[in-house]
Structure 1
Amino acid sequence: MTAALSAHHQQLAQRKREAITAAATKLFLERGYDGTSLAKIAQEAAVSKSTLFKQFPTKAALFEAIVTEYWKRGPDPAAPATPPGDLRAGLSAIGRQYAELITRPAMAALFRIVIAELPRFPELGRAQFELGKLPYFTSVQHYLEAQHTAGTAVVPDSESATNQFLGMIANYALWPRMLLADWNPTPADINHAVDEAVTTMLTRHHPTTQHP
């Protein structure tokens, strides 16, 4: 009986947490970070302020949870579902998964909030980088390091290689959205950008390539 009640309470707490993060995301996108109060979030989520504060004692903690959740919806690039040694397949899988992640409407909107509020709330930038971007970057870096160790790629500088690969994709799929309201490439356009990034990486890092 006690275990059943405990499980029920955990499920109830999880549902309330999801309601809070959904309400906060909606209000942050509509009103900005500074224009959204915890009281308004509690009202939108239909929970008491004490329930909200128990889950998220500060607005910054709530924003951090949202950032973490959005980035965790992406794949684990350290273990792509591709045959071992198939560098093209592995990079293609990572590239397409990354493109799908960063082209979600809410992801671009989160970046806009961070950029707009950064002068007054630098903690938002740290949250986006340290809780979202950095863990994802690290997982891709570890994938490339594993390929280098296995001899399926030559990647002596995995940090630079990861920057270059993800940067080639984000420079087409994400960053124009920050400035161009009508930037809306088709899925075929995105896939082509990923394919070109993969080809560039293979040209540079495939073990059959002549390296200096």
Structure 2
Amino acid sequence: MPAEPSTYHRRVAEQKRTAIVDAATALFLESGYDRTSLAKVADLAGVSKATLFKQFPTKAALFEAIVTEAWNIDGANEIRPEPGDLATGLTSIGRGYVDLLTRPGMTDLFRIVIAEVPRFPELGNTQFDLGKMPYFDSVRRYLDAERAAGTADIDDAELAATQFLGMISNFVFWPRLLLVNWSPAADAMSRVVDEAVAMMIARYVAPAP
């Protein structure tokens, strides 16, 4: 029976994985998805080709890892505020969404997809299916839970989630794709979240019994 890997070996493997993902992201952005080979990724990451192929046998698998890790939040891209206080829950989600959108690499990931999707539509599907939709669905499920708890009057949680996240991303994230120096201050982003929450409360809070 094979022995379990030691803490040291797990740490080394994780460090190599991180180096591979970071190198691939940089090369995809610089040279394009099509012109980036796994051999180039291995060279930039400082790992052997065998190490890279063991973790990521194809370029598609490597891109899937980039997307999954970019959208990952503390080990799980699941939104889990306790229902019962719509304002508190939405504020928590909104602040977390700002942190997600402004984390290193998120803008680069979208730029890669936008540049390459006309030739490689599967990249768009990967970004949508493994990144955006799991996160979006977790917000929708939270809103459904608030409705079930009687604290929100929401007929269409999907639409409500789109409205809330859109109010935040339209200021915090989308200008970054065109304006390289777009970096609003923390208090400005906090205000955007607060205003988005206020709009949602005005529209969706359940009337008092």
**Normalising to structure 2: TM-score of the pair?**
0.89
Gaps of 5+ in 1: none
Question: Which runs of 4 or more aligned residues in structure 1 lie more than 4 Å from their structure 2 counterparts after TM superposition?
Answer: 4-12, 74-77
Let me know the Cα RMSD of the aligned residues: 2.2
1:203 is aligned to 202
- Matches of 1:182 and 1:21 in 2, distance apart? 25
2:20 is aligned to 20
Task: Report the CA distance between 1:97 and its aligned residue.
Answer: 0.6
Task: Report the CA distance between 1:105 and its aligned residue.
Answer: 3.8
- Matches of 2:157 and 2:146 in 1, distance apart? 10
1:164 is aligned to 163
- Matches of 2:5 and 2:84 in 1, distance apart? 49
2:145 is aligned to 146
Assess if the C-alpha contact under 8 Å between 2:27 and 2:41 holds in 1: yes
Task: Report the CA distance between 1:11 and its aligned residue.
Answer: 4.5
Aligned partner of residue 3 in structure 1, secondary structure = coil
Assess if the C-alpha contact under 8 Å between 1:77 and 1:143 holds in 2: no
Q: Check 1:125–1:4 CA distance in 2 against 1; reply closer, same or farther (3 A cut).
A: closer
Q: Check 1:5–1:99 CA distance in 2 against 1; reply closer, same or farther (3 A cut).
A: closer
1:49 is aligned to 49
Assess if the C-alpha contact under 8 Å between 1:16 and 1:47 holds in 2: yes
1:134 is aligned to 133
- Matches of 1:11 and 1:186 in 2, distance apart? 35
Assess if the C-alpha contact under 8 Å between 2:25 and 2:108 holds in 1: no
2:182 is aligned to 183
Assess if the C-alpha contact under 8 Å between 1:77 and 1:94 holds in 2: no
Aligned partner of residue 152 in structure 1, secondary structure = coil
Task: Report the CA distance between 1:78 and its aligned residue.
Answer: 3.2
- Matches of 1:19 and 1:180 in 2, distance apart? 28
Aligned partner of residue 154 in structure 1, secondary structure = coil
Assess if the C-alpha contact under 8 Å between 2:64 and 2:126 holds in 1: yes
Structure 1 stretch 70-79 or stretch 99-108: which is displaced more?
Answer: 70-79
- Matches of 1:5 and 1:206 in 2, distance apart? 51
Q: How many residues align?
A: 207
2:79 is aligned to 78
**Normalising to structure 1: TM-score of the pair?**
0.88
